[in-house]
Amino acid sequence: MNGYQQVEILLVEDSAPDAEMTLRTLKRRGIANSVEWVRDGVEALDWIHCRNDYATRPNGHPKLVLLDLKMPRMDGLQLLEAMKADPFTRSIPVVMMTSSREEGDLLASYGLGVNSYVVKPVDFAEFAERIAQIGMYWMIANQTPNSP
Amino acid sequence: MQEAVTSHSAWRHWMWSAGFALALAAVSLLLAQAYRTARHADAMRQFLVHTSRVLSGIQHLETLAARLEADQRGYLIAGAPALERVRDAEFEEALRVCARLGTLLARDPAQSQRLKAAEHALRQRHARMRATSQVSATQGLPAARAAFNAHAPESATAVRNTLAILRKAEQQRLAGFAATAGSSTRNFNGVLAMGSLLALATLLFCCAALWVQMRRSEALQAALARDVAEAQRAREQLQQSEQRVRQIIQTASDAFIAIDDEGLVQKWNEQAERMFGWTRAEALGQPLAELAIPERYREAHRRGLERYLAEGRGAVINRRIEISAVDRNGNEFPIELTIWPTRTATRISFNAFLRDITERKAAQDAIRNLNSELAAQARQLSETNRELESFSYSVSHDLRAPLRHMSGYAQILREEAGDRLDAPLLRYVDEISASARRMGALIDDLLAFSRLSRQALTPIPIDMNAVVAEAMDDAGLTQNPQAHIDIAPLPAAHGDPVLLRQVWSNLLSNAVKYSARLGAHARIRVEGEREADKVRYRVRDNGVGFDPRYADKLFGVFQRLHPEDEFEGTGVGLAIVHRIVARHRGQVSAQSQPGRGAEFVFELPTDPAEEMRA
């Protein structure tokens, strides 16, 4: 369709400052042109499945889902579980981006099949660098199947 | 010994019987033979007597016949009638002898015949002689002589011959008899010899048997004596051990009570006296129930006894039971007892060992209480741990986010408004970022420190050289061209390699950090030595050192001896080192002079098992 731009990254993040910094970085580095930001897992699922508030969005999977762990309502692990259990969404790469370096969270995430787990650095410069790296890799180097 | 007696008896009986039979046979044989020989000798004697009578008779006859001739001749010569009379008297005599001989020879028909012939010849001769007498009377002597001589020879010869024949026959008989007598004697000698030999053999056999029997009986006697002695010994031992057992029971530290099948006390040792307050004299023969069993259990006791006697089993037999007993004064106390029955042929009795477990029960209760206290404490501790866990978790996640934002926005501000801010303002922005960074480091270190206490320590034998190499990697020092880090071969130790790696990492980073000013002249030396009961490691540097007056603060959390702007750091590194070494039950210490570098030493105790192997 004309004017349609596929959403490349779905950012699931409840903290507005974190979201702002992430979006800013992605934009300034020109990594992703189209990023959708939702604030928790429920919204994320609605968006992915094109229902409720997002019933009217154009179909199509994102190339990447950036996911925070701690969120209200449905948190990162629950969303991850839901996405990996559903054949419809299983193939979408999910990168966990979170402040927690706890072994428990790592184990749980990998147990559920997360594609990558990244710790958000406190230092902003490092943070930006890391976002850029992630974006570069998953957008350009990584291959995903065409959406069903 | 029993076996020796029975096993040979059959053989022995056979031998004995054979021996006896043989002896009997020999003796019988001898007796029979002796009897026969005696009879034979008798017969021989009789025969000899008989024959000698016969022979003497015959000789008399011959003598008489010769006398007759002589008388006749005499008569013929002299013609005296006296000689005739003599001659006739002798002839009568001869007839008498013939008659006697006839009786003697009555049983021998041949000899009787011969005798008759002789008698006949004699009669005929005498008749001739009588005839001549007549002739003489009529014709005179010379005519009688002539007539006698004319016919004389035949009748004289006949007399002589018949008598000779008779005599010879009798002599022949005698000779024959002598021959048989000789052979019979030889027989007898032979049999006698054989019999004697047999008897001798039997005697020898009996002697031998007797000798063997004597030997055996000696052996049996010896064995018997031994058995008797052994039995005696065994009896003595039994007595001694019975004595011992009685003594043991008497003085046992457990009470020993025995009752019969009616529940009356039969045995009551010293401890029972002490435990229940009844003396033995008072207790014997009394029902146990009234001496020691609390009222509420007496019925059960009685029923249990009945049931056992009826059915042969009981719920309390041969098991350890805890129950209450009561003493003379009515005080109840807990006891542990074991009951077991013993049977003799006629009676059954029940024995029991009893022990007063008041103290034990009290101790058990105390232990139970302590245990539940401990359990409560453990629960509390684990609760606290869990809280700490979630606290750390919160810290690690929630505290970092605002820090990131602070740092982030400060940076964004710098990027967006960098050209509008002059240097001092920019510095303020940078300070904000720096503070945020520092707080992040503090949080990380604090979290690490707190996690240390909760982490399990798994000690294993470790190669310290390998651990140090890994620590160097961790601290990013492997490719450090600046400082000279000299690591001597280190002795092995026993500990948690992961935690010790952290120790080395911290110590080495510190050494590098505090001697960084010396650039290429920084010297860091790592060495270690093993002692009897510990292993010691040193890290020495030639950096700025520290003031030894504040050495006791060195290992405190967040304690620093140098200003932040000279040497960055949170002050947790050495606290971590101290905590880890302490958990290994080791020691850490430091020495320094300001400007002359520092030496950090930590010691770990050796594992005793390893010591034995080494």
Please give the radius of gyration of chain B, using alpha carbons only, rounded to the nearest integer.
75
Q: Which helix (H) or strand (E) holds A81?
A: helix A76-85
Query: pLDDT value at position B151?
Result: 66
pLDDT value for A28: 87
Residue B64: partners with Cβ closer than 8 Å, 6 or more residues away: B90, B91, B93, B94, B97
Taking only residues 403 to 432 of chain B, the set having a beta carbon closer than 8 angstroms to any beta carbon of chain A reads 403-405, 407-412
Closest partner residue to A122 among B393, B409, B436, by Cβ?
B436
- The neighbouring-strand residues paired with B596 are none
pLDDT mean across residues, chain B: 85
Q: From A122, which residue of chain B is nearest by alpha-carbon distance?
A: B404
Residue range B79-100: average pLDDT?
A: 85
How far is the CA of B516 from the CAs of B60, B501, B506, B508, in angstroms? 184, 22, 15, 12
The answer on pLDDT for B143 being more than 90 is no
Please say if the pLDDT value at position B611 is more than 80: no
Confidence of residue B614 (pLDDT cuts 50, 70, 90): very low
Task: Kindly indicate the confidence band of residue B179, based on its pLDDT and cuts at 50, 70 and 90.
Answer: confident
Which residue in chain A is spatially nearest to B401 when comparing CA positions? A99
Return the SS3 of B566.
coil
The sheet carrying B587-592 orders its strands as B484-487, B523-530, B534-541, B598-605, B587-592
CB atoms within 10 A of CB B563: 8
- Looking at residue B5, its pLDDT comes to 55
Measure in Å the smallest separation between the Cα of B533 and chain A Cα atoms: 37
Give A-chain residues touching B403 at CB under 8 angstroms.
122
With bands split at pLDDT 50, 70 and 90, how would you rate the model's confidence at B548? confident
Q: How far apart are CA B417 and CA B446, in angstroms?
A: 35
Chain A neighbours among B 101-160 (CB < 8 Å)? Answer: none
pLDDT surpasses 70 at B310: yes
Q: Which residues are CB-contacts of B236 (< 8 A; sequence separation ≥ 6)? A: none
- pLDDT computed for residue B6 by the predictor: 58
Query: If DSSP codes are grouped into helix, strand and coil, which group holds residue B102?
Result: helix
pTM of the model: 0.46
Candidates A68, A102, A117, A124: best to mutate against B (most CBs of B within 10 A) is A124
The pLDDT assigned to B292 comes to 92
Q: Do B407 and A100 touch (CB under 8 A)?
A: no
pLDDT band at B608 (very low <50, low <70, confident <90, very high): low
State the nearest Cα–Cα gap between B399 and chain A, in angstroms.
Answer: 9
pLDDT(B481) > 70: no
User: Which of B82-86, B149-153, B201-205, B439-443 comes out lowest in average pLDDT?
Assistant: B149-153
Q: Is B437 in CB contact (< 8 Å) with chain A?
A: yes
Place of tokens 């950012």: A11
pLDDT more than 70, % of chain B: 97
Q: How far apart are CA B371 and CA B366, in angstroms?
A: 8
Q: Is the pLDDT score of B527 beyond 90?
A: yes
pLDDT bin (cut points 50, 70, 90) of residue B193 is confident
pLDDT at B386 over 50: yes
Q: Is B567 on the interface with A (CB under 8 A)?
A: no
A-to-B residue pairs, Cβ atoms closer than 8 angstroms: 63
Q: In A, which residues are within 8 Å of B388 by CB distance?
A: none
The residue that leads in pLDDT, A60 or B185, is: A60
Please determine, for residue A3, whether its predicted confidence score (pLDDT) is greater than 70.
no
Mean pLDDT of B502-511: 91
